[in-house]
Amino acid sequence: MNTGLKMTLIGIIGGSGLDDPDILENRTERFVETPFGKTALITGKIKNVECVLLARHGRQHTIMPSNVNYRANIWALKQEGCTHVVVTTACGSLRDDIQPGDIVLLDQFIDRTTKRDQTFCDGSSCSPPGVCHIPMADPFCSRTREVLLDVVKGLGIRYHPRGTMLTIEGPRFSSRAESLMFRQWGADVINMTTVPEVVLAKEAGLCYASIAMATDYDCWKEHEEAVCVDNVLKTMKENANKASSILLTAIPQIFQMDWEHTISMHRVRTLTAIKTACPRKSPKIFYKMIHINIKTPPLIHLKSDSASFPTTANQCSITVCSEESPASPAPIHQLTDTCTNQHRSEHTVPTQRETALSQTPAADGEAA
């Protein structure tokens, strides 16, 4: 049961043809201001579970992939209190066995975008201070993906448990030479929106998972019609009920689970990834964004059964204790309420401890 954190709130980002607000009951729509611009959110319930829906391309599908305000979207969902983001996306298949209408649960990406902001910490006037070198070995939340995997199995939908998404800049589709090259690179599917969305969600400490629906074979396959917008939308319309069924079934299951450890690990990785030029000026806005309440400079302690620093998430537990009472460490989830004006200094954590923590594999809560 969900007993660790005060609330698990699930955000949904709908892609082309997969952003139907009718899946929400008692829905209300409003605009939300963020440091990166304004975006529209629809709040409502799925089987009595509070959710937040966001249409990636706008309600009228008027925003092309390069112009989507990814930072405002992710910031708005985090600001709303979301702990999870489950997204849907249309994609082209780069594999014979991934047929139009199939569901692919992504676990990796290849980035071929060229002009998109991929971090909140970019040095602009509205940016949190510092630079965030977020680890990206495992971009998607494996635990959330496992929930989706169980759901698609139960629904009897044709699926692929893993997949590497190649994201192009768009809005044009690939040339045949590009499509063949992407196949050689090992990509399984191709779209225009996964990056930087997944990167920003990772930086924000969110549990992010993607339901990708194949609509075509791009243009690499002989004797198949090359991808075009009309065929993409036709396939999406015919198969949109699959994405809706997955969301309607998965979201109540996600809500019922205990995500305390998973979410804490996501947030710790974000905190340890941020580096500032002035150690005494920690990223105030970013701390507020990820709901860290630090009244005194904390120390992060790694506990391990062995004398050496742990190399896996299963070997260590993370606690944060105040310098006022170092003998009474508190679980990190107790520090996730409201931001105050006092923040952690980088000097309070020995370099070797930060290094050990940053090298902990992104297990995404597999030990939870």
- Annotated binding site: which residue ranges? 16, 56-57, 89-90, 192-193, 216-218
Which residues are CB-contacts of 365 (< 8 A; sequence separation ≥ 6)? 141, 142, 143, 207, 259, 261, 262, 263, 265
Of the residues 19, 111, 216, 364, only one is catalytic, namely 216
Token pair 């040339």 is found at: 175
E-strand ranges in the chain read 10-14, 25-34, 37-46, 49-55, 84-93, 103-105, 108-112, 131-132, 159-160, 164-168, 189-191, 207-216, 274-275, 298-303, 317-322, 330-331
Write b or e for each residue in 256-284: b if 16 or more Cβ atoms lie within 10 A of its Cβ, otherwise e.
ebebbbbbbbbbbbbbbbbebeeeeebbe
| Binding-site residue set for substrate | 192, 216-218
Omega before 139 within 30 of 0, i.e. cis: no
294: amino acid identity, one letter: I
Of the residues 218, 230, 337, 364, only one is catalytic, namely 218
Mark out the alpha helices in 156-290 (DSSP H runs): 176-185, 194-203, 229-256, 260-273, 284-289
Q: Assess contact for 117 and 196: CB atoms under 8 A.
A: yes
DSSP 315: G
d(CA 63, CA 60) in angstroms, rounded, equals 8
Measured CA angle at 65 (ends 67, 84), to 5 deg: 100
| Binding-site residue set for phosphate | 16, 56-57, 89-90, 193
The candidate with the shortest Cα–Cα distance to 139, out of 222, 96, 197, is: 197
d(CA 58, CA 40) in angstroms, rounded, equals 8
216 is catalytic: yes
20 is catalytic: no
The candidate with the shortest Cα–Cα distance to 291, out of 25, 9, 3, 2, is: 9
d(CA 16, CA 59) in angstroms, rounded, equals 10
Q: Assess contact for 91 and 72: CB atoms under 8 A.
A: no
223 sits in the region (left: phi over 0; alpha: psi -120 to 50; else beta) called left
**Active-site residues: which are they?**
216, 218
